[in-house]
Amino acid sequence: MKPIISMPNTSLLPTLVHEQARIYGERTALRYRDYGKGVWRDISWNVFSAKVRHLAAAMISIGVSEQENVAVFSQNMPEVLMVDFAAYAVRAVTIPLYATSSEMQVKYIVSDAGVRYIFVGEQEQYDIAFRVQKQGSSLEKLIIFDPSVRKNQEDGVSEYLDDFLRGCADMHTDEVGRRSGNVQPGDLANILYTSGTTGLSKGVMLTHGMYSAALAAHRGIFPLTDKDVVLNFLPFTHVFERGWVYLCIANGCTMAVNLRPADVLQSLREVHPTCMCAVPRFWEKVYAGVMEQIDNSSPVRKRLLQDALRVGHEYNVEYRMKGLTPPMALRMQYSLYENTVIAFLKKHLGLERANFFPTAGAAIPEKVEDFVHSAGLTMIVGYGLTESTATVTCDRADRPVTVGSVGRLLPGVQLRFADNNEILLKGATITAGYYRKAEVTELSIDSDGWFHTGDAGYMKDGELFLTDRIKDLFKTSNGKYIAPQLIESKLCVDKYIDQIVVVAEQRKFVSALVIPQYNLLMELAKEYGADCKTNEELCSNERVIRFMMYRIDTLQQEFAHYEQVKKITLLPEPFSLEKGELTNTLKVKRRVLYENYREQIEKMYEEI
């Protein structure tokens, strides 16, 4: 049997999978759910490596050149990782697109990056990519992962993955080797497109050197070994999951790839992972579920669960996380609960083998973070950006951890604060700029080389605390960026809408405050038998609200699902200068509006 090595492999990306295959051979590298048979299938390191080699040869066969941009438009599948590492082997660049991207977004990215070849996952991605290709884009070929996808009858150029690979097993070996050997640290590995404040996506350039520096910087920080089983839940498109999965590959972990986000709770109970990175929204749902379970329990059981979490809080949050030794009585009490009540909670979630869980992408509510630690789960909270190859700061197991902080600085990353407390970054993991956008790059990276994050914060006892976003760009609690002006400009064209203000920052979904055209809407309401005599009655009428939501849904079809407004509140009075809601040039002051209408906003996010 081949030796098992726990030290991370820090090879450059073109050879990483192959070197791991030489170490781990027939051990399981990847797992995925076979939805047809209802079972999880295993892919060994040897098969993973062979598929990457075949894909690399196939890319050369169709003419993929060095540093050419190749797009991947798919939900999480093993094939996504295979394409990534095959592209790295032939010195090409991958551009991942979110599986939920709209046709407008796909068209823009394909055009901006000059993409000729795009790998697509399932039917929805194929249909969108095919329409983009038919519109006269640069696309020449679609390669389809899912063999059940129905191709358009006018499609004469797309290929299923198996057909694309046929006959390529032993081809172009020398050329693949030559290109892999020529990869330089400054070569592009990925271009990750993120939303800008104007709604136009910006392609963040990530190099091989940035990934190598990130892998090296994480060595020894995370207690990750080749014994860990990792559930891949967040999209591989997201830099958080992307950087995390490369770290897992470098450590020889087994990775269970979750295809459909809605299945994550089922996957947890089937896979029983030791690790999984997640955004705060996942833990918010876990928290809500456990609290509901406690509330619906019998009085005795309820007291038991509540006391277990109380003891867990004292033991983990008040002592262990602060680097203190709990007193003997507390240790004994916690040990009892850990082997009974807390063990039951973990088993119910499928986390009885839990090691640790990185969490980032948005601010996590302190009560949720406290709950996770109290339940005996090690959450590693962090902060990062696409432009920093994910991690800037994270909790450290060997240092005190404060609930509410986002951890300590990653080795090799330099951080300082501007006069307005904006976080500025330098280092080997920080991007050199945005693809084909020199002007935007100049606005983001100053003359001294500091990248301006748009986030404000402060340091206390070596831990970073975030306070605000300086950029007018929202991030939902699912970690998705929302450009409010783009959404508002599209929706306010409706004749029944006077003004609309989007709400999304650190929220589960996008909602909106709407000032309707009262006269027009009042007339329409009367025509349909809604007897509304005042603006208050009009704006609270359920039929009127449904009508306005229908109008908004019609206008927002081109947006990605996570950008779409899910709930609205009609306001009976316009925004005013007198209440400080508008500037002298009649621009809305968002923070004032959010404060003035806090009650209405919170009501839109009440759990049903």
Q: How far apart are CA 49 and CA 19, in angstroms?
A: 9
List the single range of 124-133, 196-205, 294-303 with lowest mean pLDDT. 196-205
What pLDDT score was predicted for residue 1? Answer: 36
The answer to whether residue 11 scores a pLDDT higher than 70 is: no
What pLDDT score was predicted for residue 71? Answer: 98
pTM here? 0.81
Task: Kindly state the tokens that stand for 218.
Answer: 């994480």
CATH T-level assignment (fold) for domain 280-469 = Rossmann fold (3.40.50)
The answer to whether residue 46 scores a pLDDT higher than 80 is: yes
What pLDDT score was predicted for residue 481? Answer: 74
Task: From 82, 85, 139, select the one nearest 107 (Cα to Cα).
Answer: 139
Q: How far apart are CA 218 and CA 356, in angstroms?
A: 14
Average pLDDT along the chain = 91
Please write the tens of the pLDDT for every residue from 505-540. Answer: 888 899 999 999 898 899 888 888 878 889 999 999
CATH T-level assignment (fold) for domain 483-604 = GMP Synthetase; Chain A, domain 3 (3.30.300)
Q: How far apart are CA 590 and CA 468, in angstroms?
A: 13
Residues 424-445, mean pLDDT to the nearest whole number = 96
What pLDDT score was predicted for residue 198? Answer: 40
What pLDDT score was predicted for residue 585? Answer: 47
In eight-state DSSP terms, residue 368 is H
The answer to whether residue 370 scores a pLDDT higher than 60 is: yes
- pLDDT band at 586; cut points 50, 70, 90: low
For the residues of 59-124, what is the DSSP string, one character each?
HHHTTPPTT-EEEEE-SS-HHHHHHHHHHHHTT-EEEEE-TT--HHHHHHHHHHHT--EEEE-SHH
CATH number of the 13-183+220-271 domain: 3.40.50.12780
What pLDDT score was predicted for residue 10? Answer: 55
Edge to edge, the sheet with strand 69-73 lists: 159-160, 141-144, 117-120, 69-73, 93-97, 188-195, 201-207
Pick the residue with more confidence: 303 or 197? 303
- pLDDT band at 590; cut points 50, 70, 90: confident
Q: How far apart are CA 591 and CA 607, in angstroms?
A: 24
Pick the residue with more confidence: 315 or 606? 315
User: CB–CB of 563/103 below 8 Å?
Assistant: no
The answer to whether residue 608 scores a pLDDT higher than 60 is: no
Residues 569-575, mean pLDDT to the nearest whole number = 94
What pLDDT score was predicted for residue 197? Answer: 36
Please write the tens of the pLDDT for every residue from 143-181. Answer: 999 999 999 999 999 999 999 999 777 789 999 999 999
Task: Kindly state the tokens that stand for 192.
Answer: 């990750």
Please write the tens of the pLDDT for every residue from 396-413. Answer: 988 999 999 999 999 999
Residues 203-224, mean pLDDT to the nearest whole number = 94
What pLDDT score was predicted for residue 200? Answer: 62
The answer to whether residue 196 scores a pLDDT higher than 50 is: no
Please write the tens of the pLDDT for every residue from 98-108. Answer: 998 889 889 99
Residue ranges matching CATH 3.40.50.12780 in the chain: 13-183+220-271, 280-469
Q: How far apart are CA 518 and CA 535, in angstroms?
A: 7
List the single range of 30-44, 217-231, 439-453, 567-581 with lowest mean pLDDT. 567-581
Residues 494-499, mean pLDDT to the nearest whole number = 84
